[in-house]
A and B are shown apart, each in its own frame.
Chain A
Amino acid sequence: MPMIDVYARADLFPAGVDRQLAEELTVAVLRAEGVAQPGPVYLDNTAAYIHRMDPNAVHTATTGAARTVRVQVITPPAALSRDGQKQLVREITEIVTKLSGDPSQASRTWVLLTEAAEGGWGIAGTALGREEFAAAARAAASRANSSQ
């Protein structure tokens, strides 16, 4: 149930692509986590925030008003295997590049994978840790079995 932040100057992505960008990024991160057929709990609690910034607020060491994109992904601890990490960075970069309309955007796209502290994933007022996630997954599986 990751959270994704995209930071870029306001004109880097064309107007009106925000929803598509958010949808493609959220689905990509669920895929990388290995959630093949995400249920409502996953779909509702995986989200993207697109920060369109004043061009003068984005700089690299050498360039002002830079056409760079930073994507930060925060997951529960160890949600991504090494293969999942590689797949996610590759796919996010592809999505960003495609929607920016600039084939050279890949070389100016950073994807940073971060993790919440163990026990520190809060939903609906409860701080979830490994044990609680496992219990929730078991409960969902038993509900799915009993409804068949």
Chain B
Amino acid sequence: MPMIDVYAAAGTFANKHQLAAELATAVMTIEQAPNIPMFRKNTAAFVHDLPADSLSNVDGDITYVRVQVLTNAGALNRDKQLAVVSQLTQILAQAAADPTLVDRTWVLLTEAPDGGWGLKGHANTNEELVAAARAEIASLAAKPPTQS
């Protein structure tokens, strides 16, 4: 249930809501999390527009994008880390309609400590998250499928 934050100069992305949804979907897919409401509803992206004078690298450039991805501890193995950085970078370059943005995109993967994933008022351990997901899968399986 990662949280994704994107920081960029205002105007970099035309459709921020679509970008946020695409980033969240990509990370959930790479995590191989079960496709259940608990994960779909609680994997989210936030796009932060910054005024042009509010970001800079040492050289003074502002055309860089930073993405921070926060997961529960150990959620991404090495293959999943490589996939998250690669796919999020591609999605951002497409959303900005600028293929060269790939070279100016930082993706930083960070983790909450085990026990520090708060949802519905409870600080969940990894074990508790797995148990909650299993319970939801079991409860969905017990219900008759709803018509759509």
Contacts and interface: CB of A to CB of B under 8 A. Distances in A.
A74 B108 contact: yes
Contacts of B66: 3, 47, 49
Interface string B97-109: 0000011011111
A27 B57 CA distance: 10
A46 interface: yes
A127 B107 contact: yes
A23 B57 CA distance: 7
B59 A44 contact: yes
B55 A47 contact: yes
Interface stretch (B14-22, B79-87, B122-130, B138-146): B79-87
A116 B109 CA distance: 6
Interface stretch (A56-64, A82-90, A94-102, A118-126): A118-126
B89 A122 contact: yes
Contacts, number: 118
Interface residues of A, number: 36
Interface in A37-69: 38, 40, 42-52
B43 interface: no
Interface in A89-148: 114-117, 119-127, 129
A48 B31 CA distance: 30
Interface residues of B, number: 36
Which secondary structure dominates where chain B touches chain A?
mixed
A30 interface: yes
Interface in B22-53: 50-51, 53
Nearest to B56: A22
Given A49-B50, A49-B66, A123 B57 contact: no
Given A47-B66, A51-B50, A122 B108 contact: yes
Interface of B: 7, 50-51, 53-61, 64, 66-69, 76, 78, 81-82, 84-86, 88-90, 102-103, 105-111
Interface of A: 3, 18-19, 22-23, 26-27, 30, 38, 40, 42-52, 74, 114-117, 119-127, 129
20 contacts: A3-B108, A23-B58, A26-B56, A43-B58, A45-B106, A47-B55, A47-B66, A49-B7, A51-B50, A74-B108, A115-B110, A117-B81, A117-B110, A120-B76, A121-B109, A122-B85, A122-B89, A124-B103, A125-B86, A127-B78
